[in-house]
Amino acid sequence: MSVPESDSDFRSGFVCFVGRPNTGKSTLTNALVGEKIAITSSRPQTTRHTIRGIVNREDTQLILVDTPGLHRPRTLLGKRLNDLVRDTYSEVDAIGFCVPADEKIGPGDRWIAQQLKEMAPKTPVVGLVTKIDKVKPDRVAQQLMALSELLGPDSEVVPISAAKGKQLDVLINVLRGLMEPGPAYYPDGELTDEPETTLMAEFIREAALEGIHDELPHSLAVVIEEIIEREAPEGQIPMVDVHANLYVERDSQKGIIIGKKGARLKEVGTVARVQIEKVLGAKVYLDLHVKVAKDWQRDPKQLGRLGF
């Protein structure tokens, strides 16, 4: 990254994307960063950590904080995830409120908008109509008007498609306008400050949740137990052994993850390994085990042990 002629030319700051589950927050983070650093899923409460993605431009650096979705909690885990989101609201320089173009604004959206006004009254909010590639232009226009009415005249509203890469540069320029002049927080080339172990655990969770229904997304946690680097002959790609445990709350859930004769767990390992190899830049042997930690979402000691 070249150094601007004057400090006032360069702007930097922190941005948080919020919205109901499955409104495209994690997909948008990945699209802006240019690499996959946040897991995506159609299941609510997939994201568990505030993964920071870093967007580098010639005159701008945006640090994207991808939080769990704000929701009405039913467990201790849910309450802790909400606390994580609330803490983030007060720390960022701008908030992007995501509403998909293919769903009408409903009570959940209005509840989040009210939460933003109460918890971050001074933080600028940009309305983001996501997934515009899924609907016709007149529907996009209707959603833009509805979201603008919900957020008020002080909030700019931008239509985007993270999947198709539409309007992302416009969004970056809008967010840049809300940042104060300041230095780059991270060196050019860095995409996230998340530890590799966290990313690996998240990729395993994403693979395990694919195609799963009911309550299992809330009940699944992944812990990286051990990483062992093997010595590789000179000139060959290094090999890394990754040992991870998947924790569920009941024996029946364990059976779902493992599948018939272990077929599903093998598929989880195959899918997750591809993502982990990209993160580590090495060949990976991925060893997965499924364990039962009864009612861990409601147990403070077990929550702590599993990293929450």
Question: Is 245 assigned a ligand-binding role in the annotation?
Answer: no
Question: Is 219 assigned a ligand-binding role in the annotation?
Answer: no
Question: Is 152 assigned a ligand-binding role in the annotation?
Answer: no
Angle (nearest 5°) at CA 134 between 131 and 135: 110
Question: Is 300 assigned a ligand-binding role in the annotation?
Answer: no
Question: Is 176 assigned a ligand-binding role in the annotation?
Answer: no
Report the sign of the C-alpha dihedral through residues 8, 90, 148, 28, in that order.
positive
Question: Is 132 assigned a ligand-binding role in the annotation?
Answer: yes
Contact 29, 77 (CB under 8 A): no
Question: Is 66 assigned a ligand-binding role in the annotation?
Answer: yes
Question: Is 177 assigned a ligand-binding role in the annotation?
Answer: no
Question: Is 155 assigned a ligand-binding role in the annotation?
Answer: no
CA distance linking residue 45 with residue 218, whole number of Å: 7
Tokens read off for 204: 């395993």
Question: Is 233 assigned a ligand-binding role in the annotation?
Answer: no
Question: Is 25 assigned a ligand-binding role in the annotation?
Answer: yes
Question: Is 107 assigned a ligand-binding role in the annotation?
Answer: no
Question: Is 123 assigned a ligand-binding role in the annotation?
Answer: no
CA distance linking residue 142 with residue 264, whole number of Å: 43
Question: Is 131 assigned a ligand-binding role in the annotation?
Answer: yes
CA distance linking residue 175 with residue 196, whole number of Å: 28
The kind and range of the H/E element at 12 are: strand 11-18
Question: Is 22 assigned a ligand-binding role in the annotation?
Answer: yes
| Binding annotation | 19-26, 66-70, 130-133
Q: Which residues are known binding-site members for GTP?
A: 19-26, 66-70, 130-133
